Amino acid sequence: MNQSMQDKRNGQGVFNNIIVFLNKIKHNLSQQYNKNIYTRILFTNVVVFTIALFVLINFANFIVTHSVYDQVQQDLLRKSKRVNYALTNKNISAEPKSGNQFANEKELLRFLADSFNIKIIIFDKDGTILSTSEEQELVPLSKIDAKYTEMLISGETKVARITDKETGQLTFTASIPMGNVEDTEHTVEKGIFLESKPANLDASLNKMRLLMLLGGIIVLIFIIFISLYLANRISRPISRLVTSLAEFNGGNYVISDENKSFDEINDLADQIKKLTVNLEEIQSKSNKYEEERTRLFAEISHELRTPLTAVQGFTEAIRDDVVEDEMLQKKYLDMIYDQTIHINRLVDDILSLSRIESGDVTVGKLPLDLVALAHGVIMSMEDLANNNNTTITFNKNSDDAIMIGDVDRMEQIIRNLLKNAINATENGNIKVTIDSNESDILFSIEDTGVGISPEELPHIWDRFYRAKHQRNTDLEVKGTGLGLVIVNKLVKLQDGKIDVESQLGKGTIFRLSFPRVI
């Protein structure tokens, strides 16, 4: 009992070791398979082609083997018919024979058996063997298998193959009625049994299987080399793309396009290139926006620092009783007030510009009469112009000045341009003109003020830029340097165009055009 339990434990231990070993092999194969796309393609191709080759070889072996067997059986059937013809012309009866007759019949059977390399047995309808081609003496009343007797009675012709259970040798048999089976009046009394054991058949088939196996191994080796080549062709450009993307993450936005490969990988590389170009543009824009933001903050800080410093200084002087003169204190308070107005106007302009640039400002697209709108703005600003002894002249060369735009934004544009013209002009004239052509509404504001020098003219659209030559530098009328920037952006938001001409000491003219309603 103890020995049996020990053997059982030993067997269980061996089984467990085998399981552990197989799991280890499986784990190693899984690691190699999932290592990279190269090993996956190679492993998959080899396994798939090996299985396909194995199935193909077995299928070919099955087809060829059965084709050979069918050919041998058909050949045996032809031989049986020829034997039947020979024996029918040399009739073998069931009556007792003389010695010479038996010898002739025996010799005929042996001759046919040697000629066709088969064994021949003649039997009657009772299954009794009448004669055989074998050398040994016939045992009296020997019987053949009952199934052949049944086939003889039914008049069937049967070809079959049998495998010897002891030797494993394949034997082909044929059983046919003896005589003219097509003669319906003829009664079948005897049958012919043929047996063939092709000695070279198995050897030929084994040789064929060996050749197919060798051919399969050669094909498999060829497939392995093809798989190596294809895996390398597919994985190499992907590896290059991975390397390029790694360099891209490091800041190198150039992807090499050498060694072109498959179309799909080329398409992928092209898309990645487009992505890198877009990212490079985005990065460039981001850097530009960051520089612009830094510059804007610096400009805002500078613009706010000056009036705040003045307010702080005047306030400290008043608080510390440094200024005792009431008239001087009032003057300081007026200056503080003017500076706060300037700061408030500057903050409003900054907020307006920020909303425009961020896209928060919506511009209506409705028909509006530019003549009526301009006339209303001019009337509201005539008092401001009169303070500078300046007149505003309105010329409407077209009564049909209907454009698509936003009433509030257009009023803001006209008001800002008129205010700039009034601030630049003293004892002069401002001419506002509206005209039209087939496609556009033309609007211009021309003043006879101080003008702008050619060096300064390109910079008037910059934020916080103020021309050096200004007629009035009082804080009440001092600009923020954002008015023209806002005007330019509002004009473009309404699909318009703006241009400027100026001569120092002679005046400035702003020309605007907007699509008209046709």
DSSP 242-307: HHHHHHHHTT-------S---HHHHHHHHHHHHHHHHHHHHHHHHHHHHHHHHHHHHHHHHHHHHH
Looking at residue 99, what is its pLDDT?
46
Q: Do the domain assignments include residue 335? A: yes
Q: Considering the chain, what is the average pLDDT of its residues?
A: 77
Q: What is the pTM of this model?
A: 0.45
Query: Average pLDDT of 13-41?
Result: 66
Alpha helices in 192-256 (DSSP H): 201-249
Q: What is the rounded average pLDDT of the residues 36-47?
A: 74
Q: Is 60 exceeded by the pLDDT of residue 465?
A: yes
- Split at pLDDT 50, 70, 90, the class of 468 is low
Model confidence band, residue 98 (pLDDT cutoffs 50, 70, 90): very low
Q: What is the pLDDT of residue 31?
A: 60
Do residues 394 and 292 share a domain? Answer: no
* Residues 387, 458 within the same domain: yes
Q: Of all residues in the chain, what percent carry a pLDDT higher than 70?
A: 74
Domain termination site, one of 202, 233, 268? 202
Claim to verify: residue 312 and residue 332 sit in the same structural domain: yes
Task: Give pLDDT, residue 484.
Answer: 83
Query: Does pLDDT of 502 surpass 80?
Result: yes
CA 403, CA 314: separation in Å to the nearest integer?
50
Q: Are residues 136 and 154 in the same domain?
A: yes
- Indicate whether 438 and 494 sit together in one domain: yes
* 487 domain residue, yes or no: yes
Structure-model confidence comparison of residues 360 and 273, the more confident one: 273
**Whole-number pLDDT of residue 475:** 39
- Higher pLDDT, residue 352 or 130: 130
Q: Are residues 422 and 309 in the same domain?
A: no
Taking the C-alpha atoms of residue 372 and residue 379, their distance in angstroms, rounded to an integer, is: 11
As a whole-number percent, the residues of the chain with pLDDT over 90 amount to 4
- Given this model, what pLDDT does residue 221 score? 85
Q: For residues 344 and 384, state if they share a domain.
A: no
Instruction: Looking at the structure, tell me whether residues 385 and 446 fall in a common domain.
Output: yes
**Residue 106 CA from chain centroid, whole number:** 84
Q: Is residue 268 part of a domain?
A: no
Q: Do both 330 and 424 map to the same domain?
A: no
Least confident of 113-117, 160-164, 171-175, 385-389: 160-164
Q: List the CATH number of the domain containing 451.
A: 3.30.565.10
Among 325, 359, 393, residue at a domain's last position? 359
Q: What angle do CA 382, 383, 384 make, to 5 degrees?
A: 90
pLDDT, position 93:
45
- Give the per-residue pLDDT at 433: 92
Q: What is the mean pLDDT of residues 9-22?
A: 68
- Examine residue 342 and state whether it is found in any structural domain, yes or no: yes
Task: Mark whether 294 and 421 lie in a shared domain.
Answer: no
- Tell whether 197 and 317 lie within a shared domain: no
What is residue 124's predicted lDDT score, i.e. its pLDDT?
83
Is 414 a member of any domain? yes
Out of 90-104, 216-230, 379-393, the most confident range is 379-393
Let me know whether 383 and 475 are in one domain.
yes
Which residues face 30 on adjacent strands? none
CATH number, domain of 308, equals 1.10.287.130
**152 by DSSP, 3-state: which?**
helix
Q: What would the pLDDT profile of 251-284 be if each residue is shown by its tens digit? A: 555 555 555 555 666 676 677 777 777 777 887 8
Which stretch of 109-123, 352-366, 504-518 has the lowest confidence by average pLDDT? 352-366
- Mean predicted confidence (pLDDT) in 221-246: 75
Q: Is residue 303 part of a domain?
A: yes
What is the structure's pLDDT at 429? 92
The CATH number of the domain holding residue 140 is 3.30.450.20
- Tens of pLDDT, residue by residue over 389-427, are 999 999 988 777 888 888 888 888 888 899 889 988 889
DSSP structure class, residue 187: P
Asked if 116 and 140 touch (Cβ cutoff 8 Å), the reply is no
Is residue 476's pLDDT more than 50? no
Residue 183 or 341, more confident: 341
Mind listing the pLDDT tens digit for each residue in 113-127? 888 888 888 888 788
Q: Last residue of a domain, which of 302, 331, 359?
A: 359
Count of domains for the chain: 3
Is residue 213, in this structure, part of any structural domain at all?
no
Residue 56 lies in a domain: no
- Give the residue numbers spanning the domain of 481: 362-515
Average pLDDT over every residue of 86-105? 57
Classified as helix, coil or strand, 392 is strand
For 48-72, give one letter per residue: b (16+ CB within 10 A) or e.
Answer: ebeeebeeebeeeeeeeeeeebeeb
